[in-house]
């Protein structure tokens, strides 16, 4: 599956403004457990390996780069438990890439509020990791025009004129803190 999304980091105040702007369809509590090889080899290759836990269920997920700036290939497979180590053979078979064994680095907890539209979805995230809290809004879409219309409204609500549609993803922010805290 190709994942298309625009992302913007938020201050706590901007998060609160968006929180109050919309009637949210769903709240999702999820924990991302991030994995990488020694030396963070996969991160260097822009490959994300995580296990996402939602309601006690575990999903192995991989994100791989594409040629589009705001798109990634996302692969997913259900797991029975949370492993400490993921086999490179399993990951290679899943992705078609040469992947080494990877180990669990840590976790990032997210409270996500979801608002659905035809062709797009707003995900308002508050994430906690390494005793840090940050805020982000993602617009996932199949209809880019609809997503840009929603993005324009969001920028108006939070008072931002920037045309940027990409910020550091959760894995990058997590890895920066991981490097400081290990």
pLDDT in tens, 68-91: 877 899 999 999 999 999 999 999
Please tell me the pTM assigned to this model. 0.91
Could you tell me which of 30, 28, 22, 14 has the C-alpha nearest to residue 115?
22
Helix extents (H) in 86-130 = 88-95
Q: Is the pLDDT of residue 98 over 90?
A: yes
- 164, 151 contact by CB (below 8 A): no
- Domain span at residue 163 reads 2-181
| Total domain count, the chain | 1
d(CA 4, CA 148): 12
CATH of the domain at 132: 2.40.320.10
- Give the pLDDT confidence of 155-173 residue by residue, as tens digits: 999 988 766 656 788 999 9
């Amino acid at each position: 599956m190709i994942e298309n999304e625009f992302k913007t980091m938020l201050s706590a105040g901007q998060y609160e403004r968006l929180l109050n702007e919309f009637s949210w369809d769903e709240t999702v509590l999820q924990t991302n457990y991030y994995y990488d090889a020694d030396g963070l080899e996969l991160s260097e290759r822009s490959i994300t390996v995580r296990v996402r836990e939602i309601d006690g269920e575990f999903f192995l997920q991989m994100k791989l780069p594409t040629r589009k700036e705001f798109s990634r290939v996302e692969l997913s497979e259900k797991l029975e438990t949370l492993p400490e180590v993921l086999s490179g053979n399993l990951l290679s078979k899943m992705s078609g890439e040469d992947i080494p064994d990877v180990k669990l680095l840590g976790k990032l907890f997210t409270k996500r509020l979801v608002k659905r539209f035809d062709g797009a979805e707003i995900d308002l995230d508050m994430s906690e990791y390494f005793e840090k809290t940050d805020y982000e809004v993602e617009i996932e879409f199949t209809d880019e025009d609809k997503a840009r219309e929603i993005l324009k409204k969001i920028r108006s609500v939070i008072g931002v004129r920037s045309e940027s549609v990409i910020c550091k993803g959760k894995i990058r922010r997590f890895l920066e803190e991981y490097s400081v805290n290990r």
